[in-house]
Amino acid sequence: MAKVAVFIADGSEEVEAITPVDLLRRAKIDCDVVSVMEGNTVTASRGIVITADKNIKDIDFADYDMLVLPGGIKGTENLGSTKALTDAVTEFAGSGKGIAAICAAPTIFSGLGLLAGKEATCNPGFFDVLEKEGAQVDKNAPVVRSGNIITSQAMGTSHDFGLEIVKYFAGEEAASSLKSNIRF
C-alpha cells in the first residue's frame, strides 16, 4: 500500500498543505503530515496552527513512496533549509520514488537540480527561477507531472494537485471518482 508524507513548517501555505492530505485520505491512501520544526505544531502562513502527525526526527523516509512539499514563502524557506528533507527529496527523485511540490516549493526541486530538462510549473512569480535551472516551465497548466515529479502553481490549484497525487497512486478512475463525489 502506498504511503505519502506531506511536510509542513512554520509559514507553509495552509490550503496547499491540507488539501492534498484530505484528498489522499478520502482515496484511502496512507498519508502522514510531518513537521520539520522542533515540535509537531507549526504556525502556517495565515496564522492557522496545524499539528502534524509526526516529526521529521522520528520518521524513516524508507517508509514512504512520495514526499510532498506545500508552498508559502517562509514555509518553502524552512523546508528547503531542512537538510534531511532535501537529501531525501534528492534520493527519492533519483530512485524513481515520487516527489511533489506546489507554489514556491518547486524552487526547492530546481535548486537541487531535479527539474533540469523536465516539464514543471510553479507559482508564476517563480517561473524564472525554474527556467534558470533548466526546467521547461508550462505557464498555463495548473499541474504538471513529469515522470515521478509533480508540480503545481498555487493555492488555487491545490485540488488539482491533490487529485494528481491520487491519480499517481490509484489511477485516473479513482481520481475522477473522487472529484465527482466531492463536487468542486
pLDDT digits (tens, 9 = 90+) for 106-119: 999 999 999 999 99
Catalytic residue among 79, 103, 150, 154: 103
The whole-number pLDDT of residue 26 equals 95
- Whole-number percent of the chain with pLDDT over 70: 99
Residue 182 has pLDDT above 90, yes or no: no
The whole-number pLDDT of residue 88 equals 98
Q: Label the pairing between strands 49-51 and 41-43.
A: antiparallel
Partnered with residue 144 across adjacent β-strands are 151
Q: How confident is the model at residue 33 (pLDDT cuts 50, 70, 90)?
A: very high
Q: For the residues 41-51, what does the mean pLDDT come to? A: 97
Residue 79 has pLDDT above 70, yes or no: yes
Residue 176 has pLDDT above 70, yes or no: yes
Residue 10 has pLDDT above 90, yes or no: yes
- Quote the mean pLDDT of the chain: 97
Give, rounded to a whole angstrom, the gap between the first and last alpha carbons of the chain: 27
The whole-number pLDDT of residue 132 equals 97
Q: For the residues 12-28, what does the mean pLDDT come to? A: 97
Q: Which superfamily is assigned to 3-179 in CATH?
A: Class I glutamine amidotransferase (GATase) domain (3.40.50.880)
Residue 1 has pLDDT above 90, yes or no: no
pLDDT digits (tens, 9 = 90+) for 141-162: 999 999 999 999 999 999 999 9
Q: Is 103 known to be catalytic?
A: yes
Domain spans, the chain: 3-179
Q: Is the pTM of this model over 0.95?
A: yes
pLDDT digits (tens, 9 = 90+) for 117-146: 999 999 999 999 999 999 999 999 999 999
3-state secondary structure the chain: CCEEEEEECCCCCHHHHHHHHHHHHHCCCEEEEEECCCCCEEECCCCCEEECCEEHHHCCHHHCCEEEECCCHHHHHHHHCCHHHHHHHHHHHHHCCEEEEECCCHHHHHHCCCCCCCEECCCHHHHHHHHHCCCEECCCCCEEEECCEEEECCHHHHHHHHHHHHHHHHCHHHHHHHHHHHCC
The whole-angstrom separation of Cα 46 and Cα 28 is: 28
pLDDT digits (tens, 9 = 90+) for 82-92: 999 999 999 99
Q: For the residues 29-35, what does the mean pLDDT come to? A: 98
